C-alpha cells in the first residue's frame, strides 16, 4: 500500500500497490501491521456500504462524538465520489479546515479518516457505492453532524447538490468550543 499524507494531520490517501501479471493484478487494501507502522488506528469492528442511485447525492457531514469517535477507511467500489473531511479537533493545528479528494472505483484509492473528523461525500456518477471500514461500533446517541455548506468550513464542492436528506440539510451553524453558545454569527 502507498500512504500519502494530506494537509490535515493524521488523514491519508491510500493507494493499492499493484502486482500485475497476464491475469490482471493483486493488491492489498488493508494491513494491521502497515496501518500501525504509519500511526493509523488499525482497529476494525464494522464494515458498511452506502449505495447512491443518483449523481449529485450528498451524504454528510457526519461524525460520532467521544467516547465513540470513529476512524474510517473509505473506498468507492462503484462509480465516483468527491470525499470530504473536516478537522473538528479543537487542539489540532488544522481545526475547522477541510480536505477533499475524488475517490473512484477505477483508481481504487481510499481515504483514511482519523477520529475527530466529520465526513461526507458527493456522488459524481449515478449508482455510486462506497465501502467503509470502521474502528468503532455505531452509537446512534453519539452521532452528529455539521452542515455541508456551513461558511465556517467553506467547502468547495465540485458539482451541485441534487439529493440530500432533511437531516443533513438542517444541521445548525457550527460553533467552535472557543466561541461558546453565546457567540453571535454575522
Active site residues: 62, 132
What secondary structure letter does DSSP report for 125? S
Reduce the secondary structure of 130-159 to three states and give it as a string.
Answer: EEEEECCCCCHHHEEECCCCCCCCCCCCCC
Q: Quote the cell numbers at residue 138.
A: 455505531
Q: What are phi and psi of 34, to 5 degrees?
A: -70, -40
Please tell me the distance from the alpha carbon of residue 167 to that of residue 172, in angstroms, as a whole number.
10
CA 149 from centre of chain: 16
CB contact at 8 A, 135 and 71 = yes
Q: Quote the cell numbers at residue 48.
A: 458498511
Amino acid at each position: 500500500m502507498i500512504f500519502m499524507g494530506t494537509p490535515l494531520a493524521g488523514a491519508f490517501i491510500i493507494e493499492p500497490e499493484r502486482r500485475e501479471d497476464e491475469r490482471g493484478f493483486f493488491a492489498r487494501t488493508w494491513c494491521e501491521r502497515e496501518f500501525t507502522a504509519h500511526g493509523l488506528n488499525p482497529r476494525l469492528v464494522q464494515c458498511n456500504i452506502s449505495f447512491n442511485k443518483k449523481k449529485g447525492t450528498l451524504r454528510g457531514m457526519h461524525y460520532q462524538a467521544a467516547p465513540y469517535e470513529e476512524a474510517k477507511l473509505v473506498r468507492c467500489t462503484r462509480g465516483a465520489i468527491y470525499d470530504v473531511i473536516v478537522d473538528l479537533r479543537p487542539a489540532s493545528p488544522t481545526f475547522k479546515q477541510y480536505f477533499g479528494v475524488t475517490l473512484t472505483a477505477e483508481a481504487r484509492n481510499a481515504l483514511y479518516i482519523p477520529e475527530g473528523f466529520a465526513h461526507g461525500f458527493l456522488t459524481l456518477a449515478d449508482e455510486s457505492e462506497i465501502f467503509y471500514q470502521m474502528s468503532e461500533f455505531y452509537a446512534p446517541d453519539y452521532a452528529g453532524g455539521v452542515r455541508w455548506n456551513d461558511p465556517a468550513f467553506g467547502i468547495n464542492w465540485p458539482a451541485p447538490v441534487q439529493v440530500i436528506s432533511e437531516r443533513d440539510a438542517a444541521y445548525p451553524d457550527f460553533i467552535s468550543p472557543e466561541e461558546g453558545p453565546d457567540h453571535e454569527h454575522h
